[in-house]
Structure 1
Amino acid sequence: MSVLPDPGASRAVLVGTSSYQYLEQLPAVSANLQALAGLLCGPLSLQLPGGHVSVVENPGAARTVVRAVRQAAAEATDTLLVYFAGHGLVDAQDALSLALPYTEFGRVETGLPYDWLRQVLLLDSRAERHVVILDCCYSGLALGRMSGRTGLADQAVVEGSFLLAAAAETRTALAPVGATYTAFTGALLDTLRQGIPGGPTLLDLGFLYRHLRLTLEARGHPVPQARDRNSGAQVALARNHAELPAVPVAAAAGAAVRERPWPDPAAIRTSTGFFTALADVRVVSGLTQQAVSRRSAGRISAGSVGRLLNRTDLPATWETTAAYLSACGVPEDQITLWQHVWQQLRTADALADAEIPAAAPGTVSEKERRQRPFPVFRRGGISDRVRQKPRRRTDGAS
């Protein structure tokens, strides 16, 4: 069964090299990173909090990337997504190496061996699921082009994950000159933004791979590869926005309402995930906030709907949430599941608060520290400023 990750318990690390000292430049990679970060944080995809997405562009040293992935691996308990775009190389042992700004052909110490990241995912990650997306090949042949050969997916696969790789065989034109994005990432972005007419409710990785394979092959681009371990193909990166119900629940028959693609409360792990799924309920219902209020028979106002969906802390009582779910058309048996999740999260929060020691005057409490966004990894290490949302990098390679 396909499932959307809980955004509060998931992390993403997006790595890319667009500026090279010794290899061909890949300016589209910078646009890849910014667009993908914005999409993962926005309503068309996973709706990750801004602090849960780390963008590492043009890292000057391999340790910068490893540090970012290791931190995300330690924090994520649901899904960890790792993305790389740039040149890829093959060393003397036929192992994959990711090219950094100062990578040179034949000098293995100047790149980032993929196996380093793979070991972090295997040994240090707390996440139940891993998604690895590699938009790279083995060497640059001309300006704005990357070359590839078979075997990338086999080298990069991690147990308990889904590996999606753009490289296939010995073809070029993965980064067409003048294009905003590289070919593979551009197709991925388009699919997540627009959806797939006639496709499933959730765009899981298995379906995305098959769609991208057909799309890129039809365009004459290299055919992507994929490897699935332990049902990783069922992880969804977005709802299929081309297939959202067009008829509001108020005008739909009972059976049609029950069959709607309601968010699954069983996938909720955190308060962030609770409110993200709660907002998705209204999207699936096709109702406005005013319509939800009218259908509640006065139990919840339009303003209360807005306040409920914009909360960050769980409500102390269940009545308003129950009225909202019922007015949206969620079946009663599913509302019972929602209430069970709400109770579990309330209990977990209470236990966590009881374990947090009081802070000394003038210091930051442990609870406040936990709620702070993650720092941004830059090429020289961790930035002193805390990142609130993805933004464009303007500095060059160090």
Structure 2
Amino acid sequence: MSDASPLHDYSRSRAVLIGVSEYDHLPPARPAATSLKRMAGLLTGPLCDWPKERVQVWEKDKVRRSDRLPDQLMEAFDGVKDIALFYFVGHGQLYDDELCLALRESPRYGPRCKTIGLPFSDVREALRACDAQTKIVILDCCFAGIVHEHSLAPESANVIDWTHAKGAVTLAASGKYRTAWYEPGSGTHKQTYFTKYLIDAVEQGIPGRPEGLPLGAIYDQAAHALAIDKRPEPTRSIRHDADRFILARNRAHPAVSAAPFTGTSPGTAQTPEPGPEPTAGAPTSAGRISRRTALRLGMGAAAVGAGIPAARALFDHNTPDPRLRWRYTTGEAVISSPTVVDGVVYIGSDDNNVYALDAATGSKQWAYATGNRVAAAPTVVDGVVYAGGLDNSVYALDAGTGKRKWAYATGDWIKEAPTVVDGVVYIGGYRKVFALDAVTGNEEWAYVSNDTSYSSPTVVDGVVYVGSSTDVYALDAATGKKKWQYGTVELIRPWPTAVDGVVYIGSGRYDPNIGSTSAGSVFALDAATGNKKWGYQADYVFQMPTVVDGVLYIGSYNSNAGSNMPPGSVVALDAATGDRKWQFQTDRVYGSPAVGDGAVYIGTFGNSVYALDAATGNEKWAYATGDKVQSSPAVVDGVVYIGSFDNSVYALNATIGDSSAQPS
């Protein structure tokens, strides 16, 4: 094959390949090093024919951030007339909905992520400034798909008009708010999936295609294989047929397959020389990623199916593989929280179903299809599953078979979990609070006020405590008659907690009586009178506080987009006084904490599940899911059950692993 005519004259082309596998403040992404080596070997090998001096490989200390890093990219592509190719593999984050490529020194969150790492806007400007006929971007990182929203030319002009280019193509390992994965395990030859599948498509060839493989055909082949293997779905954008660029020879073509070929499988690739060394201040570190209004830690999860091993995302939380017991994938996001009773996990999904899963294996026992999404946690009492849906209905299902016993049409959205006490089902709707007979589903009473968006009720000693869009109510459980109303706080969406004569509840607006200008507050009310006992300034508390052994645990998120504070936190308060014991800063927290065996468990919008020391707030371990986590965890017999926006229900070992991260 070395005697074949070159595919192109690359003397006026340049490829810049950047790979970051080690980080100072973020989990390592060691498979990125293998993927970088394979990509370099592919381009300079006999299938693609790039001269080594036209391929610059930046890794380790060659990609440390400096004030001149964007200028180094400008210099690398300066004078390029034909092909400009940029490739990145490593961590990716969003900051202000802009992709940032993580360099070694990138922090976990905050505005410095953008100044220490490499915003993709810097890459885009370097490519816009060069006169290359064809511009190719390959991004193997989380959230890469967001770059499709911006072209490689100014909005006022297309690529051809402004740069005289034939076109541009961007291949991304993930969607806008999706993660990219890499192979699990600690072996030295583990790879990132997107790069692996792209290179495998080239090295194996595509039967029935001509002797030269266009970039679009390679992408299609890789995307098809990724879908079959249930890996994350890649995305692409194209300007002016740039995907027709012939990247490689087709090994499956008779004229090519007869020639010798050694391949670039892990351990065999030959990395080219770095090429013209960047001048002083060139890329030197590794790392970068972030976003302001809410940090999306691209933490990936295990892909489990028939024979499919666990996989990690390109923003993994150094979670040991043994943590995952099983993963069950539904048809849509799992916002609902699980309920575990007698060895069965009951949970809803945005695919309109209520599921019953074996708690030990994750196998489906049954599924009941409603008319719309099931966002609330089911409640299981005396062999009956009670669940509300966004089809404006409440269902009673046989816990063993899933067969419907009754359904009640409320005429109201049901987004919150029902509470069942003494043969009555209490549930909050958009406009009403309902009390239904648990056996027949007949309405016993309904409470109506001028408020909306009622929370799940808490029922203690014959009193129903419920929050609404503006107030907290105490209702007589038998009649629905109002006993008291606390009305100085707005957005009382969370489910109240009532313990030892005190009602604890969070909000999404500040309480004037606390004298706070914070985004939200947590407060304690006398259960008998509704009088406030104490208030604590907090961020938006979206779900039910948890009270264990005199300590109140809450999760919150920062609704102030302009704030330099972390996007979210977990806080422990003294239940008697409201004094803070500790705070763990993280991404947005929408769920309620679960507490057991000395640990606090919580999911975040940073695509992760955390276990924190209940006494100190120190991080014990973190597990990376494939997308955001709004679900509240349930912990039973040493197993954490939780849902995720990646359409999955997870069962995680609660007692494996530990770390030394400190709370704020």
- Normalised by the length of structure 1, the TM-score is 0.56
- Answering whether residue 54 of structure 2 is matched by residue 52 of structure 1, we say yes
Q: How far apart are the structure 1 equivalents of 2:141 and 2:283? A: 25
**Residue aligned with 1:186, SS:** helix
1:75-154 aligned at under 5 Å gives the runs 75-92=79-96, 94-104=97-107, 105-107=109-111, 108-123=114-129, 125-138=130-143, 151-154=146-149
2:75 to 71, 82, 96: 71
Q: How far apart are the structure 1 equivalents of 2:231 and 2:39? A: 20
Match of 2:247 in 1: 237
Match of 1:23 in 2: 26
Q: How far apart are the structure 2 equivalents of 1:222 and 1:378? A: 38
Which string of whole-angstrom CA distances, capped at 9 and with x for unpartnered residues, describes residues 251-276 of structure 1? xxxxxxxxxxxxxxxxxxxxxxxxxx
Which string of whole-angstrom CA distances, capped at 9 and with x for unpartnered residues, describes residues 322-377 of structure 1? xxxxxxxxxxxxxxxxxxxxxxxxxxxxxxxxxxxxxxxxxxxxxxxxxxx94234
The answer to whether the 8 Å contact 1:44/1:239 transfers is yes
The answer to whether the 8 Å contact 1:130/1:161 transfers is yes
Match of 1:207 in 2: 217
- Answering whether residue 220 of structure 2 is matched by residue 220 of structure 1, we say no
Partner letter of residue 197 of structure 2? Answer: A
User: Hey, which of these two has a bigger chunk of strand by percent?
Assistant: 2
Cα distance change of structure 1 residues 135 and 230 upon mapping to structure 2, 3 Å threshold: same
**Residue aligned with 1:214, SS:** helix
**Residue aligned with 1:241, SS:** coil
- Answering whether residue 174 of structure 2 is matched by residue 167 of structure 1, we say yes
Deviation at 1:224, TM superposition (A): 0.8
Cα distance change of structure 1 residues 228 and 31 upon mapping to structure 2, 3 Å threshold: same
Deviation at 1:155, TM superposition (A): 4.2
Match of 2:400 in 1: none
Q: How far apart are the structure 2 equivalents of 1:209 and 1:60? A: 30
Unpaired stretches in structure 1, ≥5 consecutive residues: 139-147, 246-282, 289-372, 384-398
234-243 vs 152-161, greater mean Cα deviation: 152-161
User: Percent of aligned positions with the same letter in both sequences?
Assistant: 35
Match of 2:9 in 1: 6
**Residue aligned with 2:219, SS:** helix
Unpaired stretches in structure 2, ≥5 consecutive residues: 1-5, 154-158, 160-166, 261-273, 285-664
Partner letter of residue 282 of structure 2? Answer: G
Higher CA-based Rg:
2
The answer to whether the 8 Å contact 2:141/2:180 transfers is no
Partner letter of residue 376 of structure 1? Answer: E
Which string of whole-angstrom CA distances, capped at 9 and with x for unpartnered residues, describes residues 214-257 of structure 1? 11111111111111112211112101111133xxxxxxxxxxxx
Q: How far apart are the structure 2 equivalents of 1:63 and 1:199? A: 46
Cα distance change of structure 1 residues 76 and 151 upon mapping to structure 2, 3 Å threshold: same
Q: How far apart are the structure 1 equivalents of 2:24 and 2:110? A: 15
Q: How far apart are the structure 2 equivalents of 1:51 and 1:102? A: 28
Q: How far apart are the structure 2 equivalents of 1:17 and 1:287? A: 34
The answer to whether the 8 Å contact 2:82/2:132 transfers is yes
The answer to whether the 8 Å contact 2:73/2:126 transfers is yes
The answer to whether the 8 Å contact 1:62/1:112 transfers is no
Cα distance change of structure 1 residues 197 and 287 upon mapping to structure 2, 3 Å threshold: closer
Q: How far apart are the structure 2 equivalents of 1:195 and 1:44? A: 10
Deviation at 1:154, TM superposition (A): 2.5
**Residue aligned with 1:75, SS:** coil
Cα distance change of structure 1 residues 227 and 157 upon mapping to structure 2, 3 Å threshold: farther
**Residue aligned with 1:106, SS:** coil
**Residue aligned with 1:185, SS:** helix
Q: How far apart are the structure 1 equivalents of 2:46 and 2:55? A: 15
190-199 vs 172-181, greater mean Cα deviation: 172-181
RMSD of aligned C-alpha atoms?
Answer: 2.9
The answer to whether the 8 Å contact 1:156/1:163 transfers is no
- Answering whether residue 301 of structure 2 is matched by residue 381 of structure 1, we say no
Deviation at 1:199, TM superposition (A): 2.7
Cα distance change of structure 1 residues 204 and 191 upon mapping to structure 2, 3 Å threshold: same
Cα distance change of structure 1 residues 70 and 169 upon mapping to structure 2, 3 Å threshold: closer
Match of 1:184 in 2: 194
**Residue aligned with 2:233, SS:** coil
Cα distance change of structure 1 residues 173 and 134 upon mapping to structure 2, 3 Å threshold: closer
Deviation at 1:206, TM superposition (A): 1.4
**Residue aligned with 1:376, SS:** coil
Match of 1:279 in 2: none
